[in-house]
Amino acid sequence: MTTKYDDLILKHTGNWKHTNAIVAKVGGEKSAIVQAIKRLVEMDYLENSTNKNKILYKRKNSAQSEFNFILMMDNFEVNQKTELNRLKQIPTLMMLDGKRFRAKGIELMEDILEEVNRAYMVKTRLNYQKNSSILSSDVAEQRIKKLDDYIEKIMTAVMSKHTEKNTINAIHEYFQNHATKFEFKI
C-alpha cells in the first residue's frame, strides 16, 4: 500500500531531494515509499533528475500535459485490468461464515482501494488546478469524467460479481471505513 505515503512525499519534495532524504522525512517502510515515489513519477506528479549516482525528485507544480495524462490513464487501466482479472479468479471474497473477508479477498480489496484512491487524488488535484485557473475548466472536466468512468467501471465490477446481501454490505463497509480523505498539497 503506497497511497498513504503520497501526500507526505509531495509535501516534502518542494525542492530536489534524493530517495533516502525523502524516506527519512516521510518515515515508514522504505520499499513502500520508493514504490510510491515511482508511482508518483509515472503519474507525472514528481520529476526526477540524476546527480552523479543519485536520483533526485521534486514535486511538479504545473498542470499535467495531455500526453502525460493519457499515459497515466493507460497505466491506471492496465492496473484495473489486472485487478478485474484477479476478481474473476476469486470465487468469493467472503469466508464461509459470510461475515469476514478471505485473505485473498482482503488483498484484492486493498489493491482496488489503492487504485480508486489514486484516481481520487488525481481528481482532487484537477479540481484544484481548475479552480486556480492553472488548467482550463473544459480540460479539467474531461479528465475528471475519464477518472469517474475509470472508478465506476471497477466498482461496478466488484459489486456486480457478488449478489449476496451480506457480501455487498461488507464491501460497502470496507470502502467506507478505508477510503482516504485527501488534503492534497500542491
pLDDT at 2: 52
Is 148 found in the same domain as 70?
yes
Q: Is residue 157 part of a domain?
A: yes
Give the domain-ending residue among 15, 42, 59.
59
Q: Is residue 183 part of a domain?
A: no
Is 40 found in the same domain as 126?
no
pLDDT, tens digit only, all 186 positions of the chain: 456 788 889 889 989 999 999 999 998 889 989 998 998 888 888 999 988 888 999 998 888 889 989 999 999 999 899 999 998 888 888 787 777 888 888 888 888 888 888 898 899 889 988 998 888 999 999 999 999 999 999 888 888 877 778 878 888 888 888 766 544 444
pLDDT at 186: 41
Give the domain-ending residue among 36, 59, 82.
59
Provide the CATH number for the domain around residue 37: 1.10.10.10
Is 163 found in the same domain as 137?
yes
153: CB partners within 8 A, 6+ apart: 80
Q: Is residue 103 part of a domain?
A: yes
Is 112 found in the same domain as 75?
yes
Give the domain-ending residue among 20, 39, 59.
59
Is 55 found in the same domain as 118?
no
How far, in Å, CA of 125 to CA of 179, rounded?
A: 17
Q: What total number of domains does the chain contain?
A: 2
Is 103 found in the same domain as 26?
no
Single pTM value for the model:
0.79
Contact (Cβ atoms closer than 8 angstroms) between residue 46 and residue 58:
yes
Cell of residue 126, nine digits:
484537477
Is 152 found in the same domain as 79?
yes
Is 117 found in the same domain as 171?
yes
Q: Which residue segment(s) compose the domain that 160 sits in?
A: 66-178
Is 128 found in the same domain as 43?
no
For residue 6, give the nearest of 66, 62, 57 by alpha carbon: 57
Q: Is residue 110 part of a domain?
A: yes
Contact (Cβ atoms closer than 8 angstroms) between residue 60 and residue 45:
yes
Is 75 found in the same domain as 45?
no
